Amino acid sequence: MRTDYRRILLKLSGESLMGQQGYGIDNCRLADYANQIKDITDGGVQVAIVIGGGNIFRGLQGAAKGFDRVKGDQMGMLATVINSLALSSALEAIGQPAKVLTAINMFPIGEQYSKWRAIEALEKGEVAIISCGTGNPFFTTDTGSALRAIEVEADVMLKGTRVDGVYTADPEKDPSAVKFDEITYDEVLSRGLKVMDLTATALCKENKMPIVVFDMDHVGNLRKVISGESIGTLVY
């Protein structure tokens, strides 16, 4: 497989794991993701993954209902671990080795994350699934993804969503929204586009980490992005 990338950080939203059932983890969606990931690792691409936890619990939503924000975010971190374990199991079931790393010490559920452990796993052909975000409250998993992409020296951060790129407005709400093929970080910030939160966007901008936003739910799109096909939106 021809590829533009040697090592990637793939960010997956927790909500996308719900599939059509609207809650929890949809086994069909999980299997689709696992097969797409194995397809590119078989082609020689090193894959690190960060998954959100919004299909199970989101700290901000908990805070809105009266939860202490720190405890709410910690519950969200645990949700990302559940999703990470599910994805690692799905990958191993189809013969793709995977390692779950946690930003906070949760042995024996996973090894505590360090840059060196993650890179060692990647270089051995394992998928490194990095959970718990940054390990701190008040930071999103988008910020965790940006941080880990920079730390493991990924060539690109791929943000797999249910939308096929970045638009001038939410295409699910505004049918006149126009898609960008590429856009700069400065333009994302000046237009107030919700590609990621401000912290994550600024972190990628400062460290020159390109992002490709694409529709991960369409089977085959991950391979297309890796192969350099012009799908999604490049943010640089």
Q: Where are the domains of the chain?
A: 7-235
pLDDT in tens, 166-201: 999 888 889 899 999 999 999 999 998 989 999 999
What pLDDT was estimated at residue 43?
95
**Cα-Cα end-to-end distance for the chain:** 25
**For residues 97 and 127, is the Cβ–Cβ distance under 8 A?**
yes
Q: What is the pLDDT of residue 2?
A: 61
pLDDT tens profile 38-90: 999 999 999 999 999 999 987 777 667 788 999 999 999 999 999 999 999 99
pLDDT interval class at 22 (50, 70, 90): confident
How many degrees, rounded to 5, is the angle at CA 88 between CA 133 and CA 220? 95
What are the distances in angstroms from CA 89 to CA 4, 32, 68, 100? 28, 13, 32, 10
pTM of the predicted structure, to 2 decimals: 0.94
Distances (CA, A) of 206 to 54, 122, 156, 183, 196: 27, 25, 14, 16, 15
Query: Are residues 12 and 53 in contact, defined by beta-carbon separation less than 8 angstroms?
Result: no
* Structure confidence by residue, pLDDT tens digits, 125-166: 999 999 999 999 999 999 999 999 999 999 999 999 888 999
Q: How far apart are CA 114 and CA 5, in angstroms?
A: 22
Three-state SS at 7: strand
Helix (H, G, I), strand (E, B) or coil at 33: helix
The pLDDT value recorded for residue 173 is 87
Three-class SS of residue 65? coil
Q: Report phi then psi at 139, rounded to 5.
A: -115, 135
The CATH code of the domain at 7-235 is 3.40.1160.10
Contact 123, 58 (CB under 8 A): no
